[in-house]
Chains A and B, each alone.
Chain A
Amino acid sequence: MTFSMQRMYAIFVKDLKELSKNTFVLTTIIMPVVLALFFGRGDAVPLEVHFLVFNTAFAAVAAYIQSVAIAEEKEKNTLRGLMMSPATTVEILTGKSIVSMGMTVLTIVLCIRLLGFETANWLLVGAGMAVSLVLFTAIGTLIGLLTRTLMEASVVITPFIFILGMGTIFAEMLQGNVILTVAEYLPNFQLEYLAAAVESGAATGEIAGHFALLLGWTAAVIAATALVYRKREMGSE
């Protein structure tokens, strides 16, 4: 079975057109932009707020669009036709991922402009963001596989947007609480700590530690997605 660019491109174009006309999806993805507009008005934006917006963008755009793109095919009964077509799972998921990742990158770039985000080392922070992008897309795939309709996906994504997107905002409230020590290992905290470590010029070991945790999360979610996919073929319920 060969990988066909044309088939992947077909799925990419179709999903892009289909999703860009879905008002329900569009209202969700402007959420991080609204946040950025809101926080960007202040003079000095703290690092926590920058990453609150970025993480929200990952959860609300990358994960959400990916899950919707998969769940909606099930809801509209189009997935069966797609599964019977010569398109392979890799082509289907790549086509869809390019859409959600592309939209996320656009949103993040827009947010960076609005917030005026600067960092000492773009390479390291950018790499951290790239890993996060893959991680959240994988989370979206997992949710898409487990849910059946657009509505269901939207409901299931909400806690992810709150915890993985805006989770860092609650850190203040939970100061000293045991939950926080656990929560600090979540990928959004790790991304923020990574950026903070880069900013303060911390030792390479510390940066590498945060990086390893992010990669670990990504590997774990991809493994879980592959497992779920094997267990239940996308077409059958």
Chain B
Amino acid sequence: MELLSVIKLAADRPGADPGHGEFTIEMGKGTRTAVHLYPEVRQKMITRLTGRGKKGSFILTADGKDCRSGSRTFFEKTGFLLLQDGHYENLSVKDHLLYFRRLYSSALGLEDAAGLVQLDRSLSVKVRDLTHSEKLRLRFGTLLFQAPALFILEEPDQNIDLETKRILVHAIEVLQKRGKTFLTLTGNMESAFTFGERVYRLSDRGLVQVITESARSSDDQTEESAETAAEPDFQFNKIPAKVNEKILLFDPPDIDYIESHDGQSHIYSQGESYPCVFTLTELEDKLRTFGFFRCHRSYIVNLQKVSQVITWTRNSYSLRLENRSKSEIPLSKNKMADLKAMLGLK
């Protein structure tokens, strides 16, 4: 794999909080990486990545050359899609795009950029009249004129509609084929799995890779061999979870889904999460008869609660639940086939 960029963050204070530790993310050309991290840490990282002047402490290596954050070459090579970014509200979409096209002296056609983010029908609309989701698409459209080697996306799917998310995922896939690299910073595991092929988690313990589907097969067998415990004499169906020394018992139909992170499984029920003592594999076994489905390496979902199977692209899927928060759960590629079989589809 051709290595495009290594973002290296030098520690400026030893032993400080996670946003300040030293870590390295290696990203191949034309790959998508996502980092799951807390909002405060994310903000700190963004501030340091976009900061100008001498203090730049990120080093981006591209094409064998190092550039430090804050330098002009760094901002040429990286494009940011940030939550805080603003728009020129009084301009029309067309003027807005035209401005960025001129600013970056881009050869890309205005219609092409607008087409990729599907704003080509609202070119004469004023920016202030766009919805939040359309504004995000507009910002992504302006990035196309910059055509950076590395795109850094901050919470790309926060508060946006389904349509926009689909357009965004599609646009990213198109750009990825042209050799663009993507780094997503998000506090939402589901969006990390949607936007990243490789997913990391940045916490107090530093940067840890979250094992996704591709890294799977080998350790699956070890888990299965541990499963030969004695069968219990009677059937007990409730699932225990521990909260402050108390043990709560959940009825399986009340559970929305179960997520595993940091080596701990968490039960999500009625909008709250509770740490559970069992591993996902154990839970998968216990809950299979209740219509639960292992839809992802780190997720088990209650199929009774699934209201929609969303197809972002041919290789990227999510499940939408009908709970209050309309949670989205990642569905991995090879599990899609199993799910289709269960649903009686081909």
B38 interface residue per 8 A CB criterion = no
- Closest chain A CB from B125 CB (angstroms): 14
Given A7, A18, A85, which contacts B91 in the complex, CB threshold below 8 Å?
Answer: A18
Given B50, B99, B103, which contacts A80 in the complex, CB threshold below 8 Å?
Answer: B50
Question: Residue-by-residue, is B73-108 near A (CB-CB < 8 Å gives 1, otherwise 0)?
Answer: 001100010101111111100010011001111000
Contact of B90 with A17 in the complex, beta carbons under 8 Å: yes
Interface residues of A in 62-94 (CB under 8 A from B): 76-78, 80-87
Contact of A87 with B103 in the complex, beta carbons under 8 Å: yes
Given that A7-B102, A11-B103 are contacting pairs, would A84 and B86 also be in contact in the complex, using a CB cutoff of 8 Å?
no
B53 interface residue per 8 A CB criterion = yes
Give 13 A-B pairs besides A85-B103, A86-B105 with Cβ atoms closer than 8 angstroms.
A10-B98, A10-B103, A13-B98, A14-B99, A17-B90, A17-B91, A18-B90, A76-B88, A78-B88, A84-B50, A84-B75, A86-B104, A236-B51
Given A14, A21, A76, which contacts B86 in the complex, CB threshold below 8 Å?
Answer: A76
Instruction: Tell me, in angstroms, the Cα distance from A80 to B105 when the chains sit together.
Output: 19
Closest Cβ neighbor of A75 among chain B residues: B86
Instruction: Tell me, in angstroms, the Cα distance from A87 to B306 when the chains sit together.
Output: 49
Closest Cβ neighbor of B51 among chain A residues: A236
Contacts of A177 in B (CB 8 A): none
Instruction: Tell me, in angstroms, the Cα distance from A10 to B95 when the chains sit together.
Output: 10
Contact of A80 with B85 in the complex, beta carbons under 8 Å: yes
B178 interface residue per 8 A CB criterion = no
- Closest chain A CB from B291 CB (angstroms): 47
Contact of A78 with B86 in the complex, beta carbons under 8 Å: yes
- Closest chain B CB from A71 CB (angstroms): 13
B261 interface residue per 8 A CB criterion = no
Interface residues of A in 218-234 (CB under 8 A from B): 233
A4 interface residue per 8 A CB criterion = yes
Contacts of A76 in B (CB 8 A): 86-89
**B residues lining the A interface (CB < 8 Å):** 50-53, 72, 75-76, 80, 82, 84-91, 95, 98-99, 102-105, 142, 146
Contacts of B50 in A (CB 8 A): 80, 84
A22 interface residue per 8 A CB criterion = yes
Contacts of B53 in A (CB 8 A): 233, 236
Q: List 26 A-B contacts (CB under 8 A).
A: A1-B72, A7-B102, A7-B103, A10-B98, A10-B102, A10-B103, A13-B95, A14-B88, A14-B95, A18-B88, A18-B90, A21-B90, A22-B90, A76-B88, A76-B89, A77-B86, A78-B85, A81-B86, A84-B50, A84-B80, A85-B104, A85-B146, A233-B53, A235-B52, A236-B51, A236-B53
Contact of A6 with B102 in the complex, beta carbons under 8 Å: yes
Interface residues of A in 13-39 (CB under 8 A from B): 13-14, 17-18, 21-22
Given that A9-B102, A14-B99, A18-B90 are contacting pairs, would A77 and B52 also be in contact in the complex, using a CB cutoff of 8 Å?
no
Contacts of A1 in B (CB 8 A): 72
Contacts of B88 in A (CB 8 A): 14, 18, 76, 78
Contact of A83 with B52 in the complex, beta carbons under 8 Å: yes
Contacts of A83 in B (CB 8 A): 52
Instruction: Tell me, in angstroms, the Cα distance from A6 to B98 when the chains sit together.
Output: 12
Contacts of B102 in A (CB 8 A): 6-7, 9-10, 13
- Closest chain B CB from A145 CB (angstroms): 15
